[in-house]
Structure 1
């Protein structure tokens, strides 16, 4: 049976729904409603004469026939995506790698290491975009992103990059620092906060300290800005281990008493599950994983 052009929208909707195991998530990806995705899938099932999904109260799951078609569709789209990427980028752009990451991680962890990447792979050309919003992998978007989270995102392949941990820091010149001898004493200092999902309340709970109130005087949306504020004497900051190392090494910040609390969310390299990384992007990802596993932060 020849594959006619009017099959393609239904196949695209099916492939996305199969990958997400969810019509609503597929609709978000394709800019359709969940009912439109369902209509495409039912149209495909009618033409093929087989059920591709089992529908139940909790959602949908693939039948054996659906799994067979999903595997073939995924392979075909991956191959097409690779060819289109080459045609779109052109020969001169094959070594250009586009990366999205957090400003805090780029500023104090990634950028200081980039001379090592250039030395190992001088042909690589990077475009680094920093943002707090979740990355959209649209046409012309990044090859991959570095995300801070649980490691589970629908439709994305995630490689664990590195764990993180939290502990308090302050400028050595912060007034009152000479009286800080314990985690309880940290609560007497003015506190600097960021918008991280683990904050001062979590750290004091882990330290078994229960202050009547927390003096969180200054709040910054970015973790690096919070560390900079602490370095200028605004107060004590709750630092993430991976982005504070250079501040400690330079002496701009010092560690305060109290526990090191493992972070509930960590760093991951992510990219669309249906897409193979281009060779240049895979080279950078491999380098990142080696850096995270073997090399301390440079000064």
Structure 2
């Protein structure tokens, strides 16, 4: 006798009953009645011509034949569940866009705008990676990235997102702030620095002050930490315009006298050159380009 699709409900009921050794528990799991589970099991027994359970006053227990079928049914259902979950995950993954970028840009520029993207694309999910190390764009990795640099990276296509300007900022309550009348007065107060490849030496030269001795009181690896330190009154930070905007808007920092210096590097949207962006990732890239200033 061939196993046909109309056996599947009976096999599912039997597998659950065999696993629980209880018809009532199987019925609860399958949202059936205990009598319906019992009917499915008896249907299998009748078709196979062998008893699958021993019925007794305390409940039921598997026969040797029942144990053999339960092992096979359990293994098959587990395999099917695994395939179904993998297919569902693959379907769901189409709605996930993975982007790798800087923590500072995420905190100050991307997060305040993401609600707008969610409103425009409610079915898409965005996963943001801000690890310090440059993420590799392997299969299963990020779809795209935002990088700060010269705009050319081996193996990556890049599209200009926005430029950057730099200027000094400090807390309005920083002691000695009232004595600053120009760029030359800034070096007399504590300076804060980060690992940016363009820093205080460049800014002082841009302001026309050469040979200024730079001895930062605090150095941080992340630009947002510099701004937080400045907001706490620890010194003067050299801020990037796109990053410092939230601190200026809430009044925790103020821009100091002196010129604004155009950044040597800019922000770029990047992705592997060997593959085109998926439509979902392209939607995020287009949205970010629309958010960037002209």
Give the alignment's TM-score, normalised by structure 1. Answer: 0.68
For the 8 Å contact 1:168–1:238, the answer to whether it is kept is yes
Report how far residue 229 of structure 1 moved: 0.4
Report how far residue 102 of structure 1 moved: 0.2
For the 8 Å contact 2:201–2:212, the answer to whether it is kept is no
> Does residue 187 in structure 1 map to residue 187 in structure 2?
yes
- Show CA shifts across 1:257-287 (max 9, x none): 1110000111000000011111100000000
- Show CA shifts across 1:87-127 (max 9, x none): 89611221100010000000010011000000111111011
Equivalent position of 2:120 in the other structure? 120
Equivalent position of 2:129 in the other structure? 129
Rounded to whole Å, the distance in 2 between the matches of 1:92 and 1:182 is 56
Report how far residue 208 of structure 1 moved: 0.7
Q: Which runs of 5+ in 2 are unaligned?
A: 1-86
> Does residue 251 in structure 1 map to residue 251 in structure 2?
yes
Rounded to whole Å, the distance in 2 between the matches of 1:106 and 1:151 is 19
For the 8 Å contact 1:192–1:238, the answer to whether it is kept is yes
- Show CA shifts across 1:17-45 (max 9, x none): xxxxxxxxxxxxxxxxxxxxxxxxxxxxx
Rounded to whole Å, the distance in 1 between the matches of 2:288 and 2:107 is 15
For the 8 Å contact 2:170–2:256, the answer to whether it is kept is yes
Equivalent position of 1:213 in the other structure? 213
Equivalent position of 2:276 in the other structure? 276
Count of residues paired in the alignment: 209
For the 8 Å contact 1:171–1:233, the answer to whether it is kept is yes
For the 8 Å contact 1:189–1:215, the answer to whether it is kept is no
Equivalent position of 2:14 in the other structure? none
For the 8 Å contact 2:204–2:212, the answer to whether it is kept is no
SS at match of 2:226: helix
SS at match of 1:90: helix
CA, structure 1 residues 125+214, in 2 after alignment: closer, same or farther (shift >3 Å)?
same
Alignment root-mean-square deviation, CA: 1.6
Report how far residue 293 of structure 1 moved: 3.1
SS at match of 2:217: strand
Report how far residue 134 of structure 1 moved: 1.9
Give the alignment's TM-score, normalised by structure 2. Answer: 0.69
Rounded to whole Å, the distance in 1 between the matches of 2:133 and 2:262 is 24
For the 8 Å contact 1:187–1:211, the answer to whether it is kept is no
SS at match of 2:188: coil
Report how far residue 249 of structure 1 moved: 1.0
SS at match of 2:293: helix
Equivalent position of 1:265 in the other structure? 265
SS at match of 1:128: strand
Q: Which runs of 5+ in 1 are unaligned?
A: 1-86, 295-299
Report how far residue 212 of structure 1 moved: 4.4
Which is greater in Rg? 2
> Does residue 161 in structure 1 map to residue 156 in structure 2?
no
Rounded to whole Å, the distance in 2 between the matches of 1:106 and 1:188 is 32
For the 8 Å contact 2:124–2:280, the answer to whether it is kept is yes
SS at match of 1:216: coil
Report how far residue 138 of structure 1 moved: 1.3
CA, structure 1 residues 208+88, in 2 after alignment: closer, same or farther (shift >3 Å)?
farther
> Does residue 96 in structure 1 map to residue 96 in structure 2?
yes
Rounded to whole Å, the distance in 2 between the matches of 1:169 and 1:179 is 14
SS at match of 1:146: strand
Rounded to whole Å, the distance in 2 between the matches of 1:89 and 1:267 is 33
Q: How does 1:1-299 map to 2 (within 5 A)?
A: 90-210=90-210, 212-293=212-293
Q: Which moved more, 1:223-232 or 1:208-217?
A: 208-217
Report how far residue 132 of structure 1 moved: 2.5
CA, structure 1 residues 283+97, in 2 after alignment: closer, same or farther (shift >3 Å)?
same
Q: Which moved more, 1:126-135 or 1:184-193?
A: 126-135
Runs (4+) of structure 1 moved beyond 6 Å?
none
